[in-house]
Amino acid sequence: MALSVLIGLEPSPLGRIVTLDMASWRFGGFGFDDATEAPGFGFVAAAQIVANDTVIDLRPAGTVHRIQGAQMIAPGDLADWPIPAGRVVLCSSTGLCAWRGAQVLAARGATVLALLADGQ
């Protein structure tokens, strides 16, 4: 697959999942290269955080290297946390806690939310 991308073969294998059933020696798979993005919260990389973002780190203090400028908030405290103007980036190790936190904030009226999975 990597060679196909490098030499530009068409159709491109990008966006394709390949499976192999070892019991019957059959290949299968599916493509999602033209799939639309599901509505909801999108993930960002740490490099995509900008100065006017409010970054909330939901991981326990002292367990990981902190993201510079991030506020350390426990997930349970989001229900009472004042929602700022602008984008709020929620950070957790795998993204699951960030997604749950985004659901809480969205239910309270936050509209510009992003998730950051930073397992370090």
Q: What is the pLDDT of residues 21-78, one digit of tens each?
A: 999 999 998 888 777 777 788 899 999 999 999 999 999 877 778 888 899 999 999 9
Q: Is the pLDDT of residue 97 over 90?
A: yes
- In three-state secondary structure terms, 16 is strand
Residue ranges of the domains in the chain?
Answer: 2-31, 42-117
Q: Is the pLDDT of residue 17 over 90?
A: no
Distances (CA, A) of 1 to 21, 34, 62, 66, 89: 18, 18, 42, 37, 34
Give dist(CA 76, CA 4) in Å, integer. Answer: 48
* Unique residue bearing structure tokens 């955080």: 49
pLDDT of residue 15: 78
Secondary element (H or E) of residue 3 = helix 2-7
Topology of domain 42-117, per CATH? Oxidized Rhodanese; domain 1 (3.40.250)
Token digits for 27? 């290949």
